[in-house]
């Protein structure tokens, strides 16, 4: 398949916002008799490569599901390894953001993250405010239901403090209380690894998203597979509840 390229002819066909559930790292490692964290390391490099490709073809936002609120149930060794990968990636991203003018946001409940990693996240967020263009969003300690509860509590506090009333609430206003405030809803959500479920990812934001499922494990996901996902997206007719 020919690579999708950024051009005036196909710019309108490129999804503005692609979201990916990065699944299959553990199985990839197990099939190679490697520790699970080797799969996460390989998946991290895949994210870096796919983010670069998305930027090159004109995608504006890429959001990836890196660590869910349920992933704390995994072994302490695996969780520690994943957090070390986040730390490594964010340190490297500081230089890359300046060089490539990339914005980076970390989305999720960061209260359970170590103070050192939270400080690094705040640093990268502050730096990336200077840049416009492509934005990568990494969901850490994220869950769609948890996000909605978090937003509802924030709105309730504003009502209790007299800044809002229940009658003020609209869908647009509620979206402003979500972690994804200011980010358009995803046009296309991709799930590698053969699983056909959304796993509590972007529940509010995905109301009208298109989905693409593939058996390819995330570390093996490449630019050609992303092209196939986008080609599949092109064949969809997005009616947003309207008649055909």
Q: Distance between CA 141 and CA 143 in Å, rounded?
A: 7
Catalytic residue among 25, 37, 71, 185: 71
Please, are residues 67 and 140 in contact by the beta-carbon 8 Å criterion?
Answer: yes
CA torsion angle for 6, 212, 209, 126 (degrees, to 10)? -60
Would you call 23 a catalytic residue per the annotation? yes
Residue whose C-alpha is closest to residue 68's, from 124, 147, 123, 182:
147
Active-site residue, 187 included = no
The torsion defined by the Cα of 199, 205, 206 and 208, in degrees rounded to 10, comes to 170
Q: Which long-range contacts (CB under 8 A, 24 or more apart) does 110-114 make?
A: 110/140, 110/141, 112/72, 112/141, 113/83, 113/140, 113/141, 114/83
Q: How far apart are CA 12 and CA 60, in angstroms?
A: 12
The burial class, CB within 10 Å (0-12 / 13-18 / 19+), for 5 is: exposed
* Residues carrying an active site annotation: 23, 71
């Amino acid at each position: 398949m020919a690579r999708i390229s950024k051009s005036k002819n196909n710019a309108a066909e490129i999804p503005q916002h692609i979201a990916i559930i990065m699944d299959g790292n553990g199985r990839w490692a197990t099939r190679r008799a490697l520790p699970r964290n080797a799969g996460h390391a390989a998946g991290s490099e895949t994210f870096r490569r796919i983010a670069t490709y998305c930027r090159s073809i004109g995608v504006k936002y890429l959001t990836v599901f890196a660590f869910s609120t349920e992933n704390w149930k995994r072994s302490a060794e695996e969780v520690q390894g994943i957090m070390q990968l986040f730390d490594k990636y964010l340190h490297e991203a500081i230089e890359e953001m300046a060089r490539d003018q990339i914005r980076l946001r970390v989305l999720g409940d960061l209260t359970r993250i170590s103070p050192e990693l939270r400080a690094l996240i705040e640093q990268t967020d502050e730096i990336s405010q200077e840049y416009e263009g492509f934005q990568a969003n990494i969901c850490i300690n994220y869950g769609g239901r948890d996000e909605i509860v978090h937003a509802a509590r924030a709105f309730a506090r504003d009502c209790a403090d007299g800044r809002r009333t229940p009658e003020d609430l609209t869908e647009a206003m509620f979206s402003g209380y979500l972690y994804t405030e200011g980010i358009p809803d995803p046009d296309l959500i991709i799930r590698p690894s053969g699983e056909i479920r959304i796993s509590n990812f972007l529940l509010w934001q995905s109301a009208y998203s298109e989905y693409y499922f593939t058996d390819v494990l995330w570390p093996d996901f490449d630019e050609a597979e992303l092209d196939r996902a986008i080609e599949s997206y092109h064949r969809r007719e997005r009616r947003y509840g309207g008649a055909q």
